[in-house]
Structure 1
Amino acid sequence: MAHRSRLAGFIIDCRTDDLDAAADFWSQALGMSISDREAGDGSAEYQMFGDTPGDLHVEVQKVTHESRVHLDIETDDIDAEAARLEALGAKKIAFHKRWWVMEAPTGQRFCVVRMKHPERGAPPREWND
């Protein structure tokens, strides 16, 4: 069965006690507005940007690990996409509620998340499983 995926956007992971200040810095640095300061859920604190290029999802997230930037790949089948990426050499690191944290063969971490708005942005690529 086929599934679809595409780049969803970028998450700026910030180890900070002041998420508002971190989001304000990145908002001004990138020239994007903060569209939702309360975008997080019970398991994560993050703030979402608006006015992003190509409708990419860009957010600032409070984390306990070292600060870094990671990307999200969105898909209509999380397990199929994770398996496709494993076949390319990626490793599954952990499953969190509804997404996979994975690691590229070169060490970068990224997440495989559920596609929210397939009708927006660039069309997703279809993969034959």
Structure 2
Amino acid sequence: MALGWKLVIDSGDASALADFWAAALGYEVEDPSALIEQLLAAGRIGAEAVAEHRGRKTFRGYAAIRHPDDPFDQASGVGQGRRMLFQDVPEGKSGKNRLHIDIHSEPGGLDDLVTRLEGLGATRVLEQDKGPAGHWWVMQDPEGNEFCAA
């Protein structure tokens, strides 16, 4: 039986990093505001657990994005398919990522993809040309996490 999963990324500003990756991948930022309202009304969480981002209530220190074509729970806003969760941690990034995301451009569209990602806050780090494997860029997101654009 296949297992469900989500990719969890440690961050310094979960909401801002979720915004970057949602724009980079064409994903949707999850809206947990209805769930938060329910939890607040039931006394299951306090106001200190809640923040506001772009006019919506969010869980302080957490944000998630989901693929726009995948199902999601209407009551909670939580995706039930491909999704990424960002969680704030006190320590900063200290070394090279051991796991990273590759973003694939349309054929012949690498330059446009890299330019768009830079416009969102990404940084080019290293251009790669590996013969039959092709040409790609190692890049960093706004918090320094490495990823590849190919």
Q: Same fold (TM over 0.5)?
A: no
Report the TM-score range of the alignment, normalised by the length of the smaller protein. Answer: 0.3 to 0.5
Q: Which has the larger radius of gyration?
A: 2
TM-score by length of 2: 0.32
Q: Larger relative contact order (C-alpha < 8 A, sep ≥ 6)?
A: 1
TM-score by length of 1: 0.37
